[in-house]
Amino acid sequence: MAIAIHDPTLRDGNHAIAHTLSLDDIAAYCRTVDGCGLDVVEVGHGNGLGASSLQLGMARHADHEMLETARANLNCTKLGIHAIPGFAKISDIKAAIDIGVDVFRIASHCTEGDLTQSYIEYARSQDKYVQGVLMMTHMAPAEVLLAQAQRQVSYGANAIVLMDSAGNYDPRDTSGKIGLLAGELDVPVGFHAHNNLGLAIANSVAAAEAGATILDGTMRGFGAGAGNTQLEVLCAVLERYGFETGTDVFALCEAVEALPELPPVQRRTIVGTSNLISGIYGVCAGFEKHVTRAAQDFGVSPRFIYEELSRCNAVAGQEDLIISAAAHLSKTAPQTSAQPRKGVTA
């Protein structure tokens, strides 16, 4: 079976460095991986189009600058974006079309697929390839995900992607959810993993075996929290399992070695204790830096913040809940040995 490899290193990886990828970083990465056989390279702020803000983090460059740079340096590989309605506007989709973006991922929380309707319909009306994306999918059973995916297909989505945004899945979860969608939908199904429990490769293989034909991976696993499925390893393992990826694994390895100064290569992504705990509690991987900072500011263990965020079902875009949770816990939870930062009060 053929698997299309979607590479969000320059989007999900932006989370890992507070959205500070430079235009030079983007240009160099795109030039270097362009001949490796990847299907799509995805570029932008960690939360996608229109998400650069004080609440979510300011990107170093505007969306159009990042996309124009990538477009100028990709000849063989498609250019993709991630867009979450509410952060992104229809005008952002239009601007991306004008720049020459090929693949549009329109994403929502796993139970709010109806929010993607106007965005999917608009992009499809412009004859663009659109993937409907459901995020934080560990929070809903397979039957609910199927119903949401069917909505996105009815809006015109060419494919559906499930994201394990919190790195909470194990292969049994992956097989059950991907298997149901792949069996019931008439469009390709994809899977995007995070590695908070160290299972990103295992889950991606399980997804392929269950019928997924689109898989995500990032160079050296560069991504939010504990990172994503490690791209070059994923391609090698899929080939070992008999799947065709169209990629040149040795060219990908050469790309890693050819880009020693870029953040995706410099930052070795590991499963830290904070990442592990967020995976256990099923909290968005992109919250890591915000939780770490709040824990230091209020002298509270990150564990209790993650537990509180899990209890209130916090999702991407609700970073303000991290501060309120930490402030509340500073009065009620066991304290860490660290003292709150000077000038920070609950």
Residue of 96, 61, 60 whose CA lies nearest to 79: 96
Alpha helices in the chain (DSSP H): 9-16, 23-33, 63-73, 90-99, 117-125, 142-154, 171-184, 200-210, 231-240, 249-258, 263-266, 273-281, 288-298, 302-311, 320-332
Contact residues for 85 (Cβ-Cβ < 8 A; gap 6+): 106, 108, 115, 116, 118, 119
How many whole angstroms separate alpha carbon 158 and alpha carbon 149?
11
Question: Is residue 271 within 8 Å of 226, Cβ to Cβ?
Answer: yes
Residue 292 to residues 42, 52, 228, 275, 298, Cα–Cα distance (Å): 27, 20, 19, 11, 10
Q: Catalytic residue among 6, 15, 61, 290, which?
A: 15
Residue of 259, 317, 324, 241 whose CA lies nearest to 56: 317
Q: Reply yes or no on whether 64 is catalytic.
A: no
φ, ψ (nearest 5 deg) of residue 22: -90, 165
Name the pairing type of β-strands 214-216 and 40-43: unpaired
Question: Is residue 25 within 8 Å of 60, Cβ to Cβ?
Answer: no
Tokens of 15: 């989370």
Residue of 250, 207, 203 whose CA lies nearest to 228: 203
Catalytic residues: 15
